[in-house]
Amino acid sequence: MEELLKEFLPKLSLYRARIFGSIVGFIAGLLWAFMGFRRALAFVLCIFCGYYLGKRVDQKGSLREIFEKVFPPKE
């Protein structure tokens, strides 16, 4: 068991932001999912957004760039 953990944990550290983002999205989505079907669709969206943001951070991307693409500054 210890050998498995020693082998597995370093690989997880490469994706820690994705994992964290997915967990946050999962928790936020669960809160909505228990409130009805339409909100269950938001559950999937929350997980996807959390994964995507975590992936961008893993790839050394900037969250500011992401938000500027989604919400462009006013001219």
Domain ranges of the chain: 13-70
**Distance in angstroms (rounded) separating the CA atoms of residues 49 and 11:** 22
Model pLDDT, residue 38 = 76
Among the listed residues 14, 25, 20, the one whose alpha carbon sits nearest the alpha carbon of residue 58: 14
The pLDDT tens digits of the residues spanning 3-57 come to 877 887 787 778 888 888 888 888 877 877 787 777 777 888 888 888 888 887 7
- What is Dmax (Cα atoms) for the chain? 58
Model pLDDT, residue 8 = 78
